[in-house]
Amino acid sequence: MARSVKTLLLALLLGTGLAAAPARALDLSDPDQSLAAFIKMRCSLASEDVVTWWKGTIFAHLPAAAPRAILGFEGFNVCRAEKLDDGSYRFLSRELSFYRDLKTGQILERWDNPLNEQSVDVLQVANDPVNHIMGAPGRRMAFPIDRQGEDLLLTFNVPLSYPNPLPPGDWPEESSGETYTGSEHFLFFAKAGEVDDPGVDNAHITLGWTRVGPWLPWMRMGQRPGNLLYIAHGAKLGGIADLPQDMQDEVRERYPEYATAPKQWTQPNETSWTYYRKRMEQQRKEE
């Protein structure tokens, strides 16, 4: 038998006998392995920029009335996770989201508020930074990730209550009260095979997101009873180039820094309320 044929047969036999075994399943009850799984799902273990996109509808919820769809919205977060010497991860990100007309889908610059019949300027969401430490020593615990067959599922709830950056005494039209109260609720879905695989740093996910919160400052609803309900779905993308064209145009022309995650760690984080206050205070100085 020719040497080349023998070599081919040997390679086939070895390939059959030594086929790669399935990745060993992560122990999701272990805080360290659970943290690694979460970073793979939410961002990447490779300290690379990752874009996560979402799209949804905002409902106005008035007392004793059914929620009413009033706005669309679409946005993204760009993140990078950096592992620190103590085993925790420094999560650096910024997020940009646009309010859309429900009928046309166009990005809104001005909006006729049907709840108070005011025409108002729209302030898009431009939060920079949105930074966190994940898995800090002494506070590390397993994320509630469920394994169901080939799928991993995670619900992540964030209740919020803190002094309102826009106190009603100074911002009567924009403030919902002395205290900001709300909550955000994330649903992440990933393939277990990707997350378990030690050769995969960045697992693809799809997601759901719900938020309950007060009226946005630029809506000029003051302390009128009621709240906003946000419902969205989303997924990781390959990059900024996978966003809708009008959002890419906005990033290129008005928000170029949002094409990448922050390079440096900074605090405090930005919110729509602190961003609004900064914009209005700057506008008042210029008048």
Instruction: For 92-137, write each residue's pLDDT tens digit.
Output: 999 999 999 999 999 999 999 999 999 999 999 999 999 999 999 9
The whole-number pLDDT of residue 20 equals 52
The whole-number pLDDT of residue 285 equals 86
- Decide if 130 contacts 272 (C-beta within 8 A): no
- Decide if 250 contacts 98 (C-beta within 8 A): yes
The residues spanned by each domain of the chain are: 28-286
> Can you give the pTM of this predicted structure?
0.91
- Decide if 123 contacts 275 (C-beta within 8 A): yes
**pLDDT tens, residue order, the chain (287 aa):** 444 444 444 444 445 444 455 668 999 999 999 999 999 999 999 999 999 999 999 999 999 999 999 999 999 999 999 999 999 999 999 999 999 999 999 999 999 999 999 999 999 999 999 999 999 999 999 999 999 999 999 999 999 999 999 999 999 999 999 999 999 999 999 999 999 999 999 999 999 999 999 999 999 999 999 999 999 999 999 999 999 999 999 999 999 999 999 999 999 999 999 999 999 999 888 87
Structure tokens at 174: 């924009």
The whole-number pLDDT of residue 7 equals 46
Structure tokens at 226: 């009621």
- Decide if 89 contacts 83 (C-beta within 8 A): yes
